Structure 1
Amino acid sequence: MGGDFRCTIHQKLEEKGFHGCVVFDCFGAGQRITQETYGGSKDWHSAPEMMGLLPVVRQLHELMWLVTEALKLDRAQRVREKLLEALAELDHLAGGTPDELRGLDVDAVRRRVNPQLQKASQLARAGTKRADYRGANLIGRKMRGADLRGASFRGALLIGADLREADLRLADLTGADLRGTDLRGAKLTGVLFLTASQLRAAVTDL
């Protein structure tokens, strides 16, 4: 870490064996904590209590990202108002004081938001096969070339799975563990809720 607290080997993390750092995404939570929660008056060295807030704000920001993505779905207009309400609530909570953030029940917040995200997903995937793999253990599964259009992989374990040339158009990949998942040649057009960190964790030809 440099004097400005930035990573001095950011561009070489993969080659130096720091794959975990490469695939981690704080969704801007770290910046918000330093700049807003603490007003830029503290840093991670002088205020170690900031680290305890990172998991909380990160989860809120991740939910905000998911809601923002859901708002882009043309077929999900039916739940647009509720999604906008959820986004406003999440932003308000993420802007709380350190004490408010420490006392926040993030699981309860997630339970309030998830139904709207699931509804948006269902609307977007209407008319597809919509196979249900939610929470499934698909570690190492051979699914090369499979027709998985509109499938739900919410929270699924796809570690090391072979999805080469699979048709994943409009599939929901919310929270799916894609470490080592082979996505080379897969059709990803319109795939739902796929984060940049998930893609970095997978094997792709993008």
Structure 2
Amino acid sequence: MSGTSGTIDPSEQRADCGSCFALCCVVPAFARSADFAVDKGAGQACPNLGGDFRCGIHTRLRDEGFKGCTVYDCFGAGQKVSQVTFLGRDWRQDPGSARRMFAVFPVMRDLQELLRYLAEALARPAAAAVHGELRAAFAETERLTLGDADTLPGLDVDAIRGGVNPLLLRASELVRAAVTGRKRDHRGADLIGARLKGAGLRGANLRGALLIGADLRGADLRTADVIGADFRDADLRGADLTGALFLVQSQLDAARGDRTTVLPDTMRRPAHW
């Protein structure tokens, strides 16, 4: 958000890998599984990471057993930590900064994710009644992201999220109120493997729902609130996600779909569909 016009630049919540020191390839730990071909400890560089901070198998991640990498989104935290918090000093040239940088990254990612959701809520005209509060929450969250490397790791992200979530929920309710008819409430529901082919889920509350492997072929998900919903291996072929609230690219990347899946204009059709 600029200090003069108050406008929000959406690119600030999108990953720019070229401006990051490959923090997502180093900071998180992962275990050998269907998502990762090897074990890697937290703070340990992935064996596929090159000296130029680029992934050596980026175009073959799924084929090489690193599907988990293809569904990760830092929401712009990587470049912010690398270029703003640490002013372009990378952890290889300045090893003394590594521990602090790695501690900042997960906190920054959580804050950037909140900014992503707040920015979307502010872009929804139907949520105008709470735009003032949303704008204040955005400005405060953005201010926190500009803290120094000693301050950021000590932030209580759960408390920050707890203060923002009611605003996001209120914005969601205002937007979904325009949908006529019965709206299903599946908030936090266990819908793993559920048979929802052709389901009428327009304006539904799917916040935090577990939709792993669910059959959502041809489902109507228009204006559904899908914040935090787990779409891993969900079948979205022919589904309509027009106007879906708080949908992020990583949710689509984790799902299955095809050319008949209707996506919001802001979303990219995953290459593996």
Q: How would you bin the TM-score normalised by the shorter chain?
A: over 0.9
Matches within 5 A, 1:1-206: 1-43=49-91, 46=95, 47-128=98-179, 129-206=182-259
DSSP 3-state at the match of 1:99: coil
Write out per-residue CA displacement over residues 121-180 of structure 1, whole angstroms, 9 at most, x where no aligned residue. Answer: 001101433211111111111110010010011111110011110100000000101100
| CA distance, structure 2, for counterparts of residue 57 and residue 130 of structure 1 | 34
Residue 97 of structure 1: how far off its partner (Å) = 1.0
- In 2 relative to 1, CA 44–184 (structure 1 residues): closer, same or farther, beyond 3 Å? farther
Q: Which residue of 1 aligns with 2:37?
A: none
Residue 70 of structure 1: how far off its partner (Å) = 0.8
Residue 55 of structure 1: how far off its partner (Å) = 1.3
Structure with more relative contact order (C-alpha pairs < 8 Å, separation 6 or more): 1
Unpaired segments ≥5 residues, structure 2 = 1-48, 260-273
DSSP 3-state at the match of 2:151: helix
| CA distance, structure 1, for counterparts of residue 208 and residue 103 of structure 2 | 24
Unpaired segments ≥5 residues, structure 1 = none
| CA distance, structure 2, for counterparts of residue 44 and residue 38 of structure 1 | 13
| CA distance, structure 2, for counterparts of residue 40 and residue 161 of structure 1 | 43
How many aligned residue pairs are there? Answer: 206
Question: So what's the TM-score if we normalise by structure 1?
Answer: 0.96
Query: 2:74 is matched by which residue type in structure 1?
Result: C
- Contact between 1:160 and 1:181, CA under 8 Å: does it hold in 2? yes
DSSP 3-state at the match of 1:102: helix
Identity between Structure 1 and Structure 2 (%): 54
- Contact between 1:44 and 1:51, CA under 8 Å: does it hold in 2? no
- Contact between 2:100 and 2:149, CA under 8 Å: does it hold in 1? no
Query: 1:54 is matched by which residue type in structure 2?
Result: F
Residue 49 of structure 1: how far off its partner (Å) = 3.0
Question: So what's the TM-score if we normalise by structure 2?
Answer: 0.73
Residue 2 of structure 1: how far off its partner (Å) = 2.4
| CA distance, structure 1, for counterparts of residue 156 and residue 244 of structure 2 | 30
| CA distance, structure 2, for counterparts of residue 44 and residue 137 of structure 1 | 43
- In 2 relative to 1, CA 44–130 (structure 1 residues): closer, same or farther, beyond 3 Å? farther
- In 2 relative to 1, CA 86–193 (structure 1 residues): closer, same or farther, beyond 3 Å? same
Superposition misfits of 4+ residues, deviation over 6 angstroms: none
